Structure formats: structure tokens, C-alpha cells
Structure 1
């Protein structure tokens, strides 16, 4: 009896699902939902024609009309939801290369599972539910008698219409579309980047037809007259200058933080928001703007491995330095370890080398690991040391309370994610004080310069910064969304701060400014990069004299220092 009732119920539900009115209602509801995620009515023809294209391909393969319609709608909605989650945390829409690179990188995938389970688990549950329902629809939906030739014709028509509805202008860079939060269309637009990569379109196209340039002169010996200080760089993960935010008492609580040894606050311009630490590190180490690579910007550690021959590491190695990076991630995460080695770093001390048990240890753990490396280096190696320490504690997610030694008197905003972020930043800054104190204690025998910088803002402060700074816009790369800070501290030595004294300094110039501040002799290429910084008043990609930037890039290419496609 129960079986008969179940079969009758299933038959009734199938009859409803496999009805033209139900399919039409599903199309309308999904269209409305996708519009809410896209927020641009002019993009909707493109989005829905992409749905149609998926449906016709499924129909060609399965001959099931309703299964094809519902699967195409479900797939598009799920992609858009994932894009919303990525945009919220990273400021960059879902891209096909997230599957090509990140999706096929087990270490990156493990990090996402570990850090963003609160997002991934519900989406995975929704996907499983969709698979169950669609499987039932597949079984119940009868095969259509339309011939293969006609079904193929439908596919051809759908894919012929898609380009006619393309939402960008022909010459409009797609990179800015991915920054715009167009979560229903971005993933489909990104397939064109896959096409361009296959046929070799890229940064080199900018120089087509321009006059040839002479390569840089060969770098001679490193003639430094003064001592060679140790150089320490600290990448302060997800941190921004909270002392600039006059809300919830943050400007008072952090009034004495984020300042260099001379007491000044300095503004750094980065090229990523909410995530993408490796993008900032790429620019720091190479003196290149990731924006010049367009849509490739989030994937440069993979696409540019072995293609950058001059870097901050090679410059310091030329002057006798040992070069190393300590990173809280696995060596192969987003290919950063292999990339750093390809640009000249002697050693990459990754998650396993430092004995980490989790990605987001308090920063003190990373700093203590760095100190162990420094002490061992000084016992066994007579060279000066260049060491970057990447931290992780202030990274999202902020769904759990991670501060282990919570500072006193932090004002609560009532916004859990913001409060947790502020607590972590405060603790990270205390840990950085400890690291500075260790360098100061060594300064008599081992003078050093310590540069600290925020790699990007956190999405936890997004609404606050948006409220305080009207120009805030993730899709506007000159807005306050891309403003962080850097600090410089001389330990047992005088530091020339002139190379840093700009109203705002782009991160691509931070490395060469550090070389000058430390008194390191520059090669011809880095000397020109420093001159470019002065001509452009601290701006790189958005330099008013853009032709000068392009000539510099051409000279790198002509010298064999940069390989582009």
C-alpha cells in the first residue's frame, strides 16, 4: 500500500515537473534570481543565452527536454552563487581559471576546504540535492524524437546568438568585469580568456607596432661602499591601517600603530582586494604591475614561472645576499614556491619546513620560525641575509574566535566578523613588535632594516571603509579599496627614507625603494625602475606618463628579463 502511494506521489510530482508551465515558471524564477546577482539588466540576454547554450548541448547528448532545461538552469544558478561567495571574500568573480588552476591544485583545494568550509558545505549540499532531483527528472523524462541533425542545429543557433549578446564593448578589458561583481555573467565571459591564452594573446600585444628599444646594459659587480645590512620583509596578511578608520574608536586604539621608525604613516597601493596575497608578493618581488597582465593577474605565479629573470632576489644575490622566503602555505600552493624559486630565491621555507600544524597559526609562530632560521644562518653562513616572512593569522574566515591573547580595551562594533578581524590584527601587531625587538637586540652585531606591509584589505572592513571613504569601489582600481600601508624600521643603522616619501607608493616600487633605503647598489634595470618611480610620482600601472612605463617593459623584454606572450 505504502509503495503504491509512493509511486503515485512520484508520478504526480513528475507530471508537474515535466509540464511546460512548470518549466516556464522555473525559467522565469531563475532569470529573476540571476538578475538579482548580476544587477545589470543589459547583461541578462547574454546570461540567458548561455543557459540556452548549455541546455541545447545537454539536449543534443540526452534527447531529454526538461532534464536539459532544469540542468542548465541549476548549473548557472550554482555557478552564480559560488561567484557571489568568491566575490564577497576575494573581490574577484568566479573565473574559469579557478577551475583550471585552483581546482586542479590539491593544496589550494585543501586550503579552501579547511578555511571556508562554512561556505563550501552548504553549496556542496545544494549541489547534491540538485543532482538527486535532476537524476529523477532524467529517469522520468522521455527521450524526444528530434533527429541528431536538428538537435545539432539548435546548438549551432544558440552558440551563434551568444556573441551577439556579449555584455562588454569589443575593446573593453575583461579584467574590470570580474572586479564588478557581475556574478551571473563573469564565469561565462572568462571563457574568452581561455581562448586568448590558447592563441597567445597577452601583454605583448600592447607593444605591437611600437619602435624597438635598446636592452639594458649588463649589470656589473655590486660596488657597495658601506656595510650590507640584513634585510627583513614582513608580509602582514590582510592588514590595513586601522588607525585611519575613525569609527568604533579604531583610530584611537591604533593611533600608535602602522607607523615607521620616523613616526610617519605611509600609504601603499596594492592591486588586489580581500585575497590574492601572491598578487601583491609578485609585484613586490618583480617590480611589475599585475594589472599589466590583465585577466592573468590572479594566476601569475603559475603563468609566469620561469619567465621573470630579474627580481629583488636576484638583485640582492648579485650583492652577496642569501635569499629566503618563509611562507605559511605548502610549497606548491598556487605555485608560489616554484615561482619564487624561479625568480632567484635560494630557499622557500614552507608549511612543512617550519613544522606548522595549521595555516593560520598566530604570527608569533612564524616569527619564531624565522628567528630559528636566522640564528642557524648566522652560525653557518657568512653572507648577509634577505628574508621575507609571510604571516597568516589575520586572514579570513572570521567565523571563529582565533585571538589567543586578546588585547585589552578593543571597542566592539557588534559586527562579529569585524570585531574578530580587529582582534587578530591587534594580536598580529603585538607579535610583530616581538620580531622587531629581536632584530633590535641583534642590531649591534647585525644591523638590519625591517620593512612591513599590508598585502591587501580584508573583506571584514569592506562596509566600514565603504562608509568612511565615498570613493570605495572594488571595480575601481584607483579607489580606497586598494589602499594599505607599509612601515620601515632601521635597526642599528640609519635608513634613508627618501625613496619612500610619496603621497602613495605602488607596491611595484616597494622593492626598489627598499634597495635604495638599505644602500644596496642597483643594476641598470632597477636604477631605471627607481627613476620611473620618481617620474611617475609613485604610480606604476596608472602612471601619467604611461609611455615611459611601456618603454621600461619593452626594455625588460628586449634584455631577456621578461618573457611574455
Structure 2
């Protein structure tokens, strides 16, 4: 087959797989750019066109794997994550998928070697090759801007189709991946927004605010799956304010959800830096939920199921002003760390956390903000963590609702979590019967197990519900202010809503956030809003978000840890 025929075959493959006109145009331009690149490297059209096909298939395959596990397609900026966390995570958590992916990569590499050895054709003069490469790059950028540019293509990240065209569009979106040396924020306006006036407190009560992140928990009822009364009460407690929560991630990256709750900002606003916010963002956010509560006399605490050396948790939470940081390797006996890490069971974690929280309150009775991070329902759900002989009936009923063993395991773990939380709540009230407390609970993201629901119900692979979990806000020993609070929230709004529900005063920043909720709805980053962009500019200019390169940053002020 000569070079022209191979080139035409590649163009036909792109047109057949991309389908929609905008994606077809971007895919064809991307394929032309790859052919031009290989022409410069190898000189002949036959090998260049064939290698471009192989690379395009590789990109589409890798993007499909990423979308399955994260709900988002592969972009150029993601390449930095490959060895920073993605490959080690896949090898540890999803070995079957990792093995198949590696096998496919080996086969494609063999195909590329064979193409270079066997498909050589006449070599073109370098001047012609360079001209064709320049033309391919020009076509790529022209098509990118003609089809909507960054604003349009960035919204395409969750769609399952257009795997190759999206990657090539992200290559043309230079601002999304070019190193900045500082922290990148994609939705900052040009003109600051005047802040709203601060809002006074509803009364004199200063309740403890206990935020519990339930790992990988979502509400099966959002997919029409029935749950028993215990799980229903756990997800939507009687007398509480509860509903659906939109999050930025799917399948993993819990720290991005934590970041959004703590800072009131969407992690997705930081583009390719979003995955690295706990390292790159340490000390860069001067306004946060802990800092606002500290101004009201609160003490703050982190209690997490991970070890102290996990990512940059210690430094990031310390940079937000969280004073007491308790990790799983800090819990005293009878907590058994080795046994706990075999399952991360909530039945073990909640009693240890109750002990740490109560000890902290005994040392200092000041109002407390506590962030509690569980890890029980994380995937893979092919592995059974619930002990044999427990929750067997619940597992059977779940599998009758959705005939899939991974859903049965998810639901059995969820039942254990519901019972463990109920015991924690009762023990907390028994040990502190008069302290007013606001308990804010939410799911950080859905597990990849929910793909089983997608298959069983024949849902679109980019169904927006895959980015929805749950939230519940419960008031103990005081009357919360739930008036006017929506039942659908974005994770970036949950901290502000908690302050409002607690009846606490809101400073000008949080008052502005509260005012923006109606305009933005439950899609903080995805809703086009000039006021939101201007609000971000206000935060940057006030020094509340530090985007500067590290060498230009002032030395951090000492913080208590």
C-alpha cells in the first residue's frame, strides 16, 4: 500500500470514529499534524501516515481507559500525571485493567516498529516535509479556533466520544498545559467584583462543625435503585437538609473534592494543576473554611484514614490553618493500623476518630471545626472487604436490584458505613450531650463500580449523574437555619451552605459566595458567569489566592501545627 492510500485510510478512520462535524474537523486536522510530524522525523509518506494511525489509536485507547476510570478524556496536561500517580495507582488498585493496557501498548509498539521497518517509501526533500508539517500545525490551530476554541473544547472533557479529537484540541489549547511556575487558574476575569456586605450571625450559638467525607459514596436512588430504610436514613436523614452534590471528579482524586469544600473554589478551575493542588497549592489560599472559622474563635482538626506521609496532606491542611492533624498512624491502641489498612473499615475508623475528637474537646472546649476523611468504599469492588457472614442479606437484595457482584459489594460496605456512622453519632451525643453540633456529610466521588449501573441501564457513558454524589447536613442540640438552601449543590458551595446552616456570621467573601449560588446553580465551574470570573479576580488581587511563581512568593508566615 503506498503512502497516499495509507493517508486516505487514516483520514477515513478519523471521519468514521469522530462522527460529529466539529470533532471530525478537529480529528482530521490533528491527524494531518501528526503525519507532518512523522514526515519531518522519517521522511516518507507511507511510514508517516501509518505511524500517525498507530499513535492516534494509542491516544484514543488511552483516553478510553482514562474516561472509564475518571469520567474524563485524556488531555495533553494529563501526561504529567502518568508517572506522578496514574500508573502506580492503576497497578495497585486495578491490576487487570493495567495488565490489559500494558499488553495493548506492547502490541502497538510492535506495530510501530514493524511499520518503520517494512513500510518505507520514497523520502521527500526536507524543505517539503518542513512545509507540510507547518501546514499541518497551522491547520490544527485554525480548526481549534474555528470550532470554538478553549471555551468550547474544555466542556467536551466528560463526553465518551471524540477521544482523539479532544486530545488534539487540548494540544492546541496551549494555556491548559504550558508550565507556569506558579498556580494556574483558568476562569479569572479582568475586572474585580465588589464583595457583598458581611452577614450577621443568626444568634449566639457557635456549634461544632464536623465534616465527614464518605469515600466513594453516592445515592443509588439517583439511578432508580431502591435502598433499605437504614441506608435511606443515612443518605437523607429525617429532619436534616440533604440532596444531590455535584463534584469535579469520578473514580478517584478525593483531595480535589476536599480542596473545593475547604476553599469554596472548584478544583477544575485550576486545569492541569487540579490534580496537584495539595502539593502546588499548599499555603496559597489565605481564605478558607478553617480560616474563617478561626476568626470566630474555632479550633480546627483533621482526622483521616490515611498515613501522615500520604501526598502533601499534612502541609496542605497546615497551610489552611488546621491546627491539629491526626493521621491513621497517630491513633493509639487499641486501634490496629496494620489490620485497619487491610480493609479501611468504617467500623474501626469511626470509634478511633471519636476518641481523638473527644480527647481534643476535653483539652480545649472551644467550638471545633473537624474534617473527617474515611476510605472504606473505595474501589475496586471486585475485592470483598466485608467479612463473610455479615450483611449477606443486604448483599443478596442489592444484587437482586442490580445483578452485579461489584454493586453487591458496594452496597454491603454502604450498610456497614451507615451502621458505623449511626453508632458514631449516638456515641458523640452520649459523650457531649449538650454541645451544639452541625454534622456535614458528603460523598467525594462515585467509584468506577457505577459503570456496572451504566451498562445495566444502557446509560450514556457521559451521563452527568456520574459526577453526582450526596450531601446531608444534620443539626444536633440546636436549631439549624436551612431556610432557602437548595437541594442540589456544587461541592464548592457546601462549606458556605454549612456556615449559613450553622447560623454563623459570614464575612464579605462568604457572603458573596452565598449570593452567587442562585446564579451558578449546582455547576460551579461549568456555568459561564462573568460575576464568578470577576469574583475570582477579586480574590487574586486581594492576595487570598496566590498564583505567583514560587520564586516570587513571600516567605510563609509561621503557622501552628
TM-score by length of 2: 0.79
1:442 positional shift:
1.6
Taking the TM superposition and a 5 Å limit, the aligned residue runs for 1:305-324 are: 305-324=282-301
Equivalent of 2:72, from 69, 74, 92?
92
Equivalent runs, 1:512-551 vs 2, <5 Å: 512-533=496-517, 536=519, 541=524, 546=529, 549-550=532-533
State the shift of 1:450 in Å: 1.8
Partner residue in 2 for 1:510: 494
Give 1:403's aligned residue.
Answer: 386
Stretch of structure 1 that moved more, 60-69 or 73-82 = 60-69
The change in CA–CA distance for 1:186 and 1:213 in structure 2 (over 3 A counts) is closer
- Residue 452 of structure 1 deviates from its aligned partner by 0.9
- Counterpart CA distance in 2 for 1:187 and 1:393 is 34
Output the CA distance in 2 between the equivalents of 1:547 and 1:137: 51
* Structural mapping, 1:459-478, within 5 Å: 459-461=448-450, 464=453, 474=462
Aligned: 1:489 with 2:471: no
**Could you tell me which of 183, 199, 212 is aligned with 1:234?**
212
2:56 paired with 1:76: yes
Equivalent of 1:121 in 99, 123, 148:
99
1:474-517 per-position Cα deviation (integer Å, ceiling 9, x unaligned): 47xxx5444432222334x1131425742323332321222233
Alignment equivalent of 1:28, drawn from 9, 26, 36: 9
Q: 1:173, CA displacement in angstroms?
A: 3.0
Cα contact 1:96–1:190 (8 A) shared by 2: yes
Q: Which runs of 5+ in 1 are unaligned?
A: 1-18
Measured after TM superposition, the shift of residue 337 of structure 1 is 5.2
* Contact 2:187-2:269 within 8 A present in 1 as well: no
Does 2:114 correspond to 1:130?
no
Check whether the contact 2:282–2:316 (CA below 8 A) recurs between aligned residues: yes
Q: 2:347 is matched with which residue: 344, 364, 372?
A: 364
Quote the offset at 1:362 in angstroms. 2.2
- In structure 2, do the counterparts of structure 1 residues 326 and 80 end up closer, same or farther at CA, with 3 Å as the change threshold? farther
**Residue in 2 that maps onto 1:279:** 256
Contact 1:331 1:338 in 2 (8 A): no
| C-alpha spacing 1:62/1:238, structure 2 compared with 1 (3 Å) | same
Once the 2 structures are TM-superposed, how far is the Cα of residue 133 of structure 1 from its aligned partner?
4.2
Report the Cα offset of residue 234 of structure 1: 0.9
**C-alpha distance in 1, partners of 2:352/2:173?**
40
CA RMSD of aligned residues (A): 4.2
Report the 3-state secondary structure (helix = DSSP H, G, I; strand = E; otherwise coil) of the residue aligned with 1:267: strand
Bigger relative CO (Cα 8 Å, ≥ 6 apart): 2
**SS of residue matched to 1:184:** helix
- Work out whether 1:393 is the aligned partner of 2:376: yes
Q: 1:56: which partner in 2? A: 36
Distance 1:440 1:243, change over 3 A: farther
Name the CA distance, whole Å, in 2 between partners of 1:54 and 1:359.
46
Distance in 1 between residues matched to 2:114 and 2:515, nearest whole Å? 66
CA positional deviation for 1:233? 1.0
Q: 2:22·2:147 contact (CA, 8 Å) conserved in 1?
A: no
How far apart are the structure 1 equivalents of 2:10 and 2:540? 52
Is the contact between residue 234 and residue 450 of structure 1 (CA under 8 Å) also seen in structure 2? yes
Is 1:435 the counterpart of 2:409? The answer is no
Q: Distance in 1 between matches of 2:113 and 2:87?
A: 27
CA distance in 1, matches of 2:379, 2:7: 36
* Aligned match of 1:9: none
Q: Residue 115 of structure 1: CA displacement? A: 1.1
- The separation in 1 between residues aligned to 2:361 and 2:343, in whole angstroms, is 28
| SS of equivalent residue, structure 1 residue 173 | helix
Q: How many residues align?
A: 532
Equivalent pair of 1:174/1:295 in contact (CA under 8 Å): no
Q: Secondary structure, in 3 states, of the residue corresponding to 1:266?
A: strand
1:163 is matched with 141
Q: Tell me if structure 1 keeps the 8 A contact 2:71–2:251.
A: yes
Aligned to 2:441, what secondary structure does the other structure show?
A: strand
Distance 1:428 1:561, change over 3 A: same
Name the CA distance, whole Å, in 1 between partners of 2:520 and 2:25: 43
Partner of 1:421: 410
Contact 1:216 1:525 in 2 (8 A): yes
Q: Following the alignment from structure 1 to structure 2, what is the Cα–Cα distance between the partners of residues 543 and 125?
A: 36
Residue 92 (structure 1) shift: 0.7
Tell me how far apart the structure 2 counterparts of residues 468 and 151 of structure 1 sit (CA, whole Å): 50
1:416-437: CA deviation from partner (whole Å, max 9, x where unpaired): 3333322232222222223223
Q: TM-score, normalised by structure 1?
A: 0.79
Q: Is the 8 A contact 2:54 2:111 kept in 1?
A: no
